[in-house]
Amino acid sequence: MSLQYVIDGYNIINHPRFTRRITTPDIKDCRLALIQFIISDKIFRNPRNSVTVIFDGYCHDQRQYGDYGVKVIFSGDISADDKIRQVIESSANRKNMVAVSDDKEIRLFARAFKVKAMAVDEFIPEPVKANADDSVAKTDLTYTQIEKINKELRKLWLE
């Protein structure tokens, strides 16, 4: 069974469990970090699962989010919460939908439409604490820089 996730992007970006995982204050890098987190997480165990991340406001270069298999929507003149409501209402297959938001009204709205509602705490697992002996490579690169490097490596090795 495939699932369709509808995620309030800024709810996750501003959540302490996510902010502990990133090192950049730049909002564009935070959005890319969220998409990378979603891709690397277990959501894509089933390749038929789909993810829609909704952010408040506008984006002048939405193309930067198109290469990841995650649908990114900017809500424009309405709030991300209103856009999430629209996505839920217009869905034909709500029983396989999961709404991720810390907004209680959104979670109640989702449940009223028989959509599974999930808080950010449930969506983002608690980070695993590393032992002092673990040698984890630390980097000062931003997620934008990491993505540029990854794209170059994909061109060299996969194309």
CATH number at residue 13: 3.40.50
Number of residues in the chain = 159
pLDDT for the residue 114: 94
Domain count, the chain: 1
pTM of this structure: 0.73
C-alpha dist (Å) from residue 63 to 3, 75, 146, 157, 158: 25, 16, 17, 23, 22
Range of the domain at 103: 4-158
CB 113 within 8 A of CB 94: yes
List pLDDT tens digits, range 56-86.
988 866 555 665 678 888 988 999 999 999 9
Average pLDDT over residues 12-40: 79
